[in-house]
Amino acid sequence: MTASDGGRPDPGGTTVRPTAERSTLLAAATLGVGFGGLLDVILFHQILRTHHLVSGYVDPTTLSGLRTNVFADGVFSLAMLLVVCVGGVKLWSALVAADPERPPAASAVGGAAVVGLGAWNLFDVVVDHALLGLHHATYPVLDAYDLGWLVASLALVAAGWIAVEKATPTAARADADAD
């Protein structure tokens, strides 16, 4: 990116994104975090029923334990819905404020959302599964599914990052590298 197209190289030679673009990408990533959490709770907690939010601490095989786990899943769902709303409002605001002559690339916005989704899953597997033992991909123990979740999470972050980077025009990257 060059000064003429809104970007500027930093002293280390990497590209510094304009503030409006960073705001858009951060908002999209926030939206992705919320969608990642909602996808997790809907798919794994409700449809597949492989685990619940606190199944590592409260046994979901008893009626009382199941009620506690389902309640925790519901509270978590509301929290993730709030994150989606915050991300959506921030994304809307950033897109309204964007330069109409140079709107952000849809692939960059989508890529940032995928980074957020993958980042949520990465947080989930590292913190919730491995460090806290809050729950595991399959109840009740840390197993190969958790490792698979880690690999899938890293793949999502990498794929999203690549999409964001590829959305930067080639000429702009070459200009930034030349400076």
Number of domains in the chain: 1
Is 3 among the domain residues?
no
pLDDT at position 30 is 98
What is the per-residue pLDDT for 3? 42
- Structural domain includes residue 11: no
Whether residue 91 is contained in a domain is answered as yes
1, part of any domain:
no
Q: Is residue 4 part of a domain?
A: no
Q: In this structure, which long-range contacts are made by residues 87-92, counting pairs with CB atoms below 8 Å and at least 24 apart in sequence?
A: 87/27, 87/28, 87/29, 87/30, 87/31, 87/32, 87/33, 87/34, 87/116, 88/31, 90/23, 90/26, 90/27, 90/30, 91/24, 91/27, 91/28, 91/30, 91/31
The closest alpha carbon to 129, from 144, 108, 110, 107, belongs to: 144
| Each residue's pLDDT tens digit, 44-80 | 999 998 889 999 999 999 999 999 999 999 999 999 9
The per-residue pLDDT for 16 is 52
pLDDT score of 130: 87
Cβ distance 104 to 18 under 8 Å? no
What confidence score (pLDDT) does residue 137 get? 80
Q: Which pLDDT score is estimated for 4? A: 43
Residue 84 lies in a domain: yes
In a domain, 7, yes or no: no
Residue ranges for the chain with pLDDT beneath 50: 1-6, 8-10, 171-176, 179
Domain with 116 in it: 16-178
71 in a structural domain: yes
pLDDT (tens digit, 9 = 90+) per residue, 162-177?
A: 999 999 765 444 444 5
pTM to 2 decimal places: 0.80
